[in-house]
Amino acid sequence: MVTPVGMNGAQTSASVRTGITRTREAEDIYHCLADDPDFEDPSPLIASTLSYLEHERRDKTPAQWLAHIAAHAFRDLQNSVALTPSDYRQIGLFMALPSTRPQWGAADEDQFVYHFHNRIEKDVFPIEEFVYKGHAGALTLYASARRRLAQGQIKYALLAGVDSYLFAHWLEWLDHDYRIKSDRNPDGFIPGEGAAFLLLEPAGQPEKNQRRTLARVGNVKDAQCPQSELGNNTGTVLSRLLNEMLASTTETPIIVCDLNGEPARMKEWGYTMVRLGAKLGAEPIVIHPADCLGDLGAASGPVHVGLSILFLERHYAGHPSALVWSASDSGERMAVLIERAS
């Protein structure tokens, strides 16, 4: 993975655990609307950027920049897992891209695919699927990846996500809607950017190839919330969804989620916590990496699953599992249980 606080998964995990953040005033990218433009100046955007790639951002379109940072994350996976040329001909790519935004959507897929494969210097994989559903996007693709693995259509599945909010015309759209953090809207989210890739294989296959299984991924559960009714109603839906996941565990998992500071999202989680009560444990461990990373949008799902695996291995050794849940603006709520491999 690549995130604002790490050039790979290990660095990002250590940064999130210790509370490191790299937010900055990004006046070179955007100035936020003033509360009273007749008497106040616009304020610089507060953002969480890939500062170590900043010199490569100039003049890139969204499709080019997303492909660029996705390629950096892909190379991190290549450095972590030794795959042969034959293996690459048996890979399926299942990737979440940003949800529909001004001058961005499914029509830009061909441009993204062209630039991404050009960057990684690999031909298009035998199977490639893309979704435009924001935070929950990658987890919505998991069922398809798992089915194709089970049917033998592919030997490996790459579950991936990439996003960046840091384009002026996207930020202006969010700013007008009181979504991003600014002097005018102090409880908005901090826009970020990043990408992550997870290598999925059928159980037992890694060991046959002298690789270690890092974690086991359970079934993904999903639910749909009324898009305009964040709060009590979505808290009801989310609590039912998480209750199903908790019922399948004997010990309380750590919880990793994409809460980003927006009041409606926090209210939803508050209602959920009350409904779940003791099922979350006496002192639930709830981690929301947006505190350090900013909101990563469509990259959130695979980043959070990857962090959960590293947390279980290195930081929460006494916990056997992690519950990851994601929420998209369009109403999707997705949850998956990550179990320690040993």
**Cα separation, 5 vs 22, whole angstroms:** 6
- Asked if 333 and 136 touch (Cβ cutoff 8 Å), the reply is yes
Whole-model pTM: value is 0.95
pLDDT tens digit sequence for 267-314: 999 999 999 999 998 889 999 999 999 999 999 999 999 999 999 988
Which parts of the chain are beta strand (E)? Answer: 23-25, 31-32, 43-44, 46-48, 91-96, 127-131, 156-164, 193-200, 215-224, 254-257, 286-287, 321-327, 332-340
- Asked if 24 and 51 touch (Cβ cutoff 8 Å), the reply is yes
pLDDT for position 108: 96
**Cα separation, 40 vs 44, whole angstroms:** 12
- The DSSP string of 246-281 is HHT-SSPPEEEE---S-HHHHHHHHHHHHHHGGGG-
Residue 147 has pLDDT above 70, yes or no: yes
pLDDT for position 266: 92
Exposure pattern of 52-87 as b/e (b: 16+ CB <10 Å)?
ebeeebeebebbbbbbbbbbbbbbbbeeeeebeeee
**Cα separation, 16 vs 9, whole angstroms:** 11
- Asked if 298 and 135 touch (Cβ cutoff 8 Å), the reply is yes
Q: Which of 142, 187, 175, 186 is nearest to 304 (CA)?
A: 142
pLDDT tens digit sequence for 82-103: 899 999 999 999 999 999 999 9
- Asked if 309 and 215 touch (Cβ cutoff 8 Å), the reply is yes
pLDDT for position 230: 59
- Asked if 110 and 63 touch (Cβ cutoff 8 Å), the reply is no
**Cα separation, 246 vs 242, whole angstroms:** 6
Which parts of 43-155 are beta strand (E)? Answer: 43-44, 46-48, 91-96, 127-131
pLDDT for position 227: 62
Residue 342 has pLDDT above 80, yes or no: no
Percent over 70 (pLDDT), the chain: 98
pLDDT for position 282: 84
pLDDT tens digit sequence for 19-66: 999 999 999 999 999 998 888 999 999 999 999 999 999 889 999 999
pLDDT tens digit sequence for 309-340: 999 988 887 789 999 999 999 889 999 999 99
> Considering the chain, what is the average pLDDT of its residues?
93
Residue 229 has pLDDT above 60, yes or no: no
What are the structural domains of the chain? 9-208 (3.40.47.10), 215-340 (3.40.47.10)
Q: Which of 105, 339, 65 is nearest to 195 (CA)?
A: 65
Residue 232 has pLDDT above 90, yes or no: no
- Asked if 334 and 139 touch (Cβ cutoff 8 Å), the reply is yes
What is the mean pLDDT of the segment spanning 205-228? 86
Number of neighbouring beta carbons within 10 Å of residue 169: 12
Name the band, by pLDDT with cuts 50, 70 and 90, for residue 114.
very high
